Amino acid sequence: MSAAALAGTGVEAIGPVHSNLTAPGLYAQALQRGEGRLSADGAFMAITGQHTGRSVQDKFVVDDPEATQEIWWGKINQKMSVENFDKFSTKVRGWLGERPVLFTQDLYAGADPEHRIRVRLVTTNAWHALFARNMFIRPPVEELAGFTPDFTILHAPEYEADPATDGCRTATCIALSFAKRVICIAGTSYAGEIKKSIFTVMNWLLPARGILPMHCSANVGKAGDVALFFGLSGTGKTTLSSDPERALIGDDEHGWSANGVFNFEGGCYAKVIRLSREAEPQIWDASHRFGAVLENVVADARGHLDLDDGSLTENTRSCYPVEFIPNIHVGGRAGLPKNVVMLTADAFGVLPPISKLSAAQAMYHYLSGYTARVAGTEKGLGKEPQATFSTCFGAPFLPRHPEVYGRMLNDLVAQYGADCWLVNTGWTGGAYGTGQRMSIQHTRALLRAALDGSLAQVEFERDPFFGLMMPKAVPGIPAGVLNPRDGWADKAAYDHTAQNLVSLFEKNFESFAGAVDDSVKAAAIRAAA
């Protein structure tokens, strides 16, 4: 059993290997081994220790000769030599082989059979195997016989890398070789590293096939109209795509091909800090049942969850199979997008709640990937909002240059005539600390109007700072909400704050100025006004 389960991984186990256990079997193993405990509703609760989020500075890409010219080298993709990776991966394999028990899962990434990859995870913990089983696509039993992985994840959360000999920065190291098709994850128990390592792989493979990989959620209406939702953490991507009136295609990662949209995953990985049953009933219900995995969520002695408690981290997470959402689009595949929505949580309170974008403006905002962080959502932040830009709304997962993805989006939007929207789920009536958070009811109403086509029929006006087209009036939305300046008591303060954000956008975009055509440059805020 051990040899077959580890075929192609290079790991030789001294103990038993539990291959492709289902959720109940993994629960039993995890509880027996003391890896966590159960919530009162039956979810498995795990604590990840020191690492409660991704270790961005400890991510490395191997400088394989056949890939080096196309990789976006820098802080995102740090170089690791082939020699160091060979030494490091050999050590990881040896360490895994010496563990008393191992768990493997054979899974797919990509709902489209033409473009999926086969993934084999080798890990020391049953709960990490359950996480992967929830997150990726589970093959039918008959497809497991003779399963040969395209990529292997060697997951060694308790192994400490050696910076002196392994070419890494700390005892934590996430290293990916495209040539050898191997990912090594060491020194961190945060399960998101498993998910995002395969997303990075898909971001590498698919553009060469003419397919745009996207860090977005997607849903589809009853008429078959597909909508994409881009947005960084905290912007409401998962919440807004989980719409009871639309079927969820997927939560986080998708491809856009000539045939339409397809989900990369078989699960959802939702941030649950201060999750409300009233505002987000689908995610709430999915997180309060057997089969879900909760990371760093606080509960009392009887397992009753306190989702308002961020004492371990603000980045509390729930991982569950997509089938836990009642209205999913079975199969994870749908048609071509009709609407592309880019979400931002503007803590400066100066962006409109919704605005319509041209194709060039869409590429501009896609390459910008703006949101703003505030105190209380991340440690170390002061009282003032901080602008953050993550190109393509997923910079940490882009192995290729951002312009590659930006040009693909621009071409696809133009080719298929998708409507593009910028939606602010952040603050209104003032910046964070003065204004108030945008009403989710207003956001949902505006989105539904955009997606059903009625919003495109109203009269628009141009914002003088950002060049955005704002609807002047929308049924059911109070006057003064649509134009953010109207909601500020101090109009001069609004103008000053908006001008400052314009400057931040312009400074961030300087690195792309030489890589985009004139239409995108013309869409850059000031020129659009």
| Catalytic residue positions, numbered | 54, 196, 215, 233, 237-238, 252, 317
Contact 150, 181 (CB under 8 A): yes
Least Cα distance to 123 among 197, 179, 180 occurs for 197
Cβ neighbours for 359, distance < 8 A, ≥ 6 positions apart:
410, 413, 414, 420, 519
Angle separating helix axes 126-135 and 23-32, nearest 10 degrees: 150
The 8 Å CB, 24+ separation contacts for 22-31 are 22/133, 23/130, 23/133, 23/134, 23/290, 23/291, 26/103, 26/126, 26/127, 26/129, 26/130, 26/133, 27/126, 27/130, 27/290, 29/103, 29/126, 30/125, 30/126, 30/127, 30/130
Phi, psi of 450 (to 5 degrees): -65, -45
Phi, psi of 416 (to 5 degrees): -105, 0
Judged on CB neighbours under 10 Å (0-12, 13-18, 19+), 298 is middle
Helix, strand, or coil (residue 95): helix
Helix, strand, or coil (residue 485): helix
Q: Which residue has the tokens 């969850």?
A: 305
Task: Annotate 289-324 with DSSP letters as a single string.
Answer: STT-EEES-EE-TT--EETT--SS-S--EEEEEGGG
List the beta strands (DSSP E) in 165-292: 173-177, 182-186, 212-220, 226-230, 247-250, 253-257, 260-263, 267-271
Residue 97 token pair: 């082989």
Count other Cβ atoms within 10 Å, centred on residue 192: 21
Cβ neighbours for 337, distance < 8 A, ≥ 6 positions apart:
218, 226, 227, 228, 256, 261, 416, 418
Least Cα distance to 173 among 84, 83, 72 occurs for 84
Q: Which residue has the tokens 């989900």?
A: 263
Contact 104, 19 (CB under 8 A): yes
Pairwise CA distance, residues 401 & 71, whole Å: 7
Residue 498 token pair: 């908006």
Q: Is 332 left (phi over 0), alpha (psi -120 to 50) or beta?
A: left
- CA 445 vs CA 194, 438, 478: distances in Å: 36, 12, 12
- How many CA atoms lie within 13 Å of 339's alpha carbon, on the beta-carbon side? 29
* CA 20, chain centre distance (Å): 25
